[in-house]
Structure 1
């Protein structure tokens, strides 16, 4: 009498292996769909935008604040920032490259330094983190662990590697596939000579060059 049990076992194992393959294939497909649903906008080395800015800081026990507008021009090689008062007067023009930073104020000689933080703190009284803003204005950051962070309406706060807390408060269009930041709040304690520093930025829709 022929024993068909080994053949049945082989057939069963083959069927189970096929089912497992289909199941794993289905999981992989689902993972791909989840990844595409969280797609973020590509980082832009070249960027032009403008908006409003408010600064509040504590220095030597004295609290100061100011508001105005800004214009931002960014290329792979440099960043140019123009700060304008509410009356339309140019407060400062910054030009930053990896090798040097310069700051021009109306009626004042051009100042240059290798360190933008100390340059802006000495001249303006507060520090403008231009290097970080190249990322933050687009919804990116490097977190305290050195990992790349991509902001979204559901994931809107990060503490950066250099001690800034970046909060994305509102978005240009939360229903967009890739929402862009609209209002950002930056805070830092013990920022060099400044004891407390808070910067609020409202961005108008950016224009890619």
Structure 2
């Protein structure tokens, strides 16, 4: 065997050995680690029924980005028109409905009440979307179909009662 051929084989074997050695040191991502990764974008449909006199109902497509501390919720009509964009960050919240000047609010709770007709607990909504059963005073969530992309929650107090439904795009 010629020297060049032996050198080539030696290098090939060394590279293969190094590849297997490196691959053996790698740690696969655990299922728990994958579950700990928090999603920051959801799309789907949302509806809210407020059992006031008269009843108020709200339904729209949505795109939700971010987290409960800082994010953006775009509400979309069935025809694809943007109904409004809600943005929030610590200490401020705003509603851009496109045809008016931007409305500013002191809190995201006040913003949600103005936009939807009821104070939807945004921090709990983010938790519910992740599959966490966050407790919020007056609200109870049904996450039994969360794996199918369906969430429902009911507010019993304060009055008026409200029903929230979310269906995620899969």
TM-score between the two structures when normalised by the length of structure 1: 0.58
Q: Report whether the alignment pairs 1:100 with 2:67.
A: no
Contact 1:68 1:86 in 2 (8 A): yes
**Distance change (3 Å), C-alpha of 1:187 and 1:77:** closer
Aligned to 1:201: 166
> Normalized per residue, which structure has more helix?
2
Q: Deviations over 1:177-202 (max 9, x none)?
A: xxx451000110234xx611111001
Q: Report whether the alignment pairs 1:57 with 2:50.
A: yes
Superposition pairs of residues 71-110 of structure 1, within 5 angstroms: 71-75=63-67, 78-110=70-102
Residue segments in structure 2 that go unaligned for 5+ positions in a row? 1-29
Separation in 1, partners of 2:68, 2:150: 24
Contact 1:43 1:138 in 2 (8 A): no
> Normalized per residue, which structure has more strand?
1
TM-score between the two structures when normalised by the length of structure 2: 0.70
Aligned residues: 141
Q: Report whether the alignment pairs 1:170 with 2:145.
A: yes
Q: Return structure 1 stretches of 4+ with deviation > 4 angstroms.
A: 36-40
Superposition pairs of residues 175-190 of structure 1, within 5 angstroms: 180=147, 182-190=149-157
Aligned to 1:5: none
Q: Report the secondary structure of 2:60's partner residue.
A: strand
Contact 2:65 2:71 in 1 (8 A): yes
Contact 1:52 1:203 in 2 (8 A): yes
Contact 1:57 1:126 in 2 (8 A): yes
Aligned to 1:47: 40
**Distance change (3 Å), C-alpha of 1:39 and 1:166:** farther
